[in-house]
Amino acid sequence: MKKILIVDDQVEVRELVEVTLRSGDYQVFQAESGEKAIEIARAVKPDLIIMDIMMPGGMDGLEATGALKNDPETNGITIIMLTAKGQEADRKTGLGAGADDYFVKPFSPLELIKKVEEVLG
Amino acid sequence: MDKGAFRISMMKQGCQKPNNFYRFYGRKQAVLALWGIIPFLLIIYLFVYEKIKLIDAVTLFSALAVFSIMIGLSFFRRSADKFVSESTGPEIMEAEEKGEPMRIQVDRELSDIAGNIDSVLRKVNEANRDMKEQTVQLMIYARDLSLSHRRMKEEQELRYRLSRYVGENLVEKLINSKDSLFLENERKQLTILFADIRSFCTMAERMSAEDVVSMLNEFFGIMVDIIFRNNGILDKFVGDQLMALFGLIPSENSAPHDAIKAAIEMQDATEDLMKQRAKQDKETFEIGIGINTGSAIVGNVGPENRMDYTVIGDSVNVAARLEQIASEGQIIIGEQTYRQTQGLFHMRKREEIYAKNKTEPVICYEVVR
């Protein structure tokens, strides 16, 4: 079973993404901060991380992505940004930090499912 | 300061007169200010005209001071009341939404309270924004839900239509692939297969209706499986006759190849079935099969509620004719079918035949099993 880690400071968003991905056969983990995301990523080695950018306090999504992509232990994990920052510059920053794809909130659940299926094969 | 936060402007009297209330209030304030002179005037009067002693003056002054403070307090109270009246009710939210500054005519202490309200409002504002975002998200979910529901309904309809003509495994494949729209009207190069039971009528007369139906069901069940397995579609049953089409479903083999392969399997399966029936002392029969390849029109034909996906053309008539001349256990194919499968099967030439509406004789071959 493929493993997915959802990182977002808002519990509602995490739950929404988890419910959306229930159509597939995935094991889903949640983290509410960048630090927690790195901790769980190292422990469970998910196949995919869905990462929010703006998370108050401590490490944000960009920093966490950079850290995960620079660590040889976790750099194989696909990271999709899921964020309300929809500007082209934000997209570039996100992809520059090492994210594999970029999704803008509010998101289409069908497109998210499609993307996840595409990434996880 | 943020656009979202609201501003406090300490209004000086006479600076701005936004409404009647202020004009009225300003005048009243001036009158109240005049009251403050009264105690001083009184003191001067008492000292000069009444020649009162100092101790009396202190007592009197204290009384007047209390009076002055009371006037001051009532004045202060009024401005606080006004602040409260301005800072309650929906007006404060409306002013905030329009980005208007909140007009307060108060002393400095009250501006702290206003400041607190300011931060509360900022939070309310944030929550409001979050809620709007969530509403948009919810709308997108609802849109996707109805979209996938519609897709599911369409898929179900297509599945139902398809399952009449092709096997269950193929229904899945066709629905998932983009080129699942083979139920359209078009002219195509097709291979048509006819199969029927030899001397069925005389046999059926000897049997009970139940036996005839159950025999046909068993027999057709096996035949249809073979057709589906070989990428054929079942066009229709006519009594003891069956009609199948090859070349509509993508296949790694050519359509004539698939059709002949299916025909051989059908003959073999019928032989096996007859052996079983013979053991059970049941009536046995054999089948003849005719196959022809050529251009034909496929489409949905018939009145709207009785639409049938079928095939029309000369090549169909020839296939039916070939099936008629096939004797028991035989498979007869037309020239086109032969040319496209030469070398793949063991086949031998038969005498030419004449088909309905055809002046030219039809060259045909027999597939040797």
Residue range B57-95, pLDDT digits in tens? 777 778 888 888 888 777 767 666 665 665 555 555 665
| Cβ-based burial of B31 (10 A; exposed 0-12, middle 13-18, buried ≥19) | exposed
A55 in Cβ contact with A8 (< 8 Å): yes
Give the number of other Cβ atoms within 10 Å of residue B160's Cβ: 10
**Chain A residues closer than 8 Å to B147 by CB:** 110
Our CA-based measurement puts residue A11 at a distance from the nearest CA of chain B, in whole angstroms, of 13
Question: Looking at A56-70, B264-278, B285-299, which range is the least confident one?
Answer: A56-70
pLDDT of B11 over the 60 cut: no
CA–CA dist B277, B272 (Å, integer): 9
- Which residue on chain B is closest to A106 by alpha carbon? B137
CB contact under 8 A, A109 and B140: yes
State the best of A15, A52, A105, A110 to mutate against chain B, taking most chain B CBs within 10 Å: A110
Residues of A at the B interface (Cβ-Cβ below 8 Å)? 12, 16, 84, 105-110
Mean pLDDT over the full length of chain B: 81
Instruction: Check if the beta carbon of residue B208 is closer than 8 Å to that of residue B314.
Output: no
pLDDT category of residue B9 using cuts at 50, 70 and 90 = very low
Mean pLDDT computed over every residue of chain A: 90
Which among B136, B147, B148 has the least Cβ separation from residue A106? Answer: B136
**Residue of B133, B134, B144 lying closest to A110 (CB–CB):** B144
**A9 to chain B, closest Cα gap in Å:** 13
Q: How far is B129 from chain A (nearest CA, A)?
A: 12
How far apart (Å, rounded) are the C-alpha atoms in residues B236 and B243? 5
Q: In chain B, where are the structural domains located?
A: 8-129, 181-367
User: What pLDDT digit, counting tens, does each position of A27-50 carry?
Assistant: 999 999 999 999 999 999 999 999
For the cut 90, the answer to whether the pLDDT of residue B25 exceeds it is no
B140–A106: do the CB atoms touch at under 8 Å?
yes
Q: Residue B143: list chain A partners with CB under 8 A.
A: 108
Q: How far apart are CA A33 and CA A38, in angstroms?
A: 9
Q: What is the pLDDT of residues B339-366, one digit of tens each?
A: 999 999 999 998 888 777 777 888 999 9
Fold entry, domain A2-120: Rossmann fold (3.40.50)
- Give, in words, the CATH class of B181-367: alpha beta
- In sequence order, what are the beta bridge partners of B232? B246
Inter-CA distances, B177 with A8, B170, B225, B250, Å: 36, 10, 22, 11
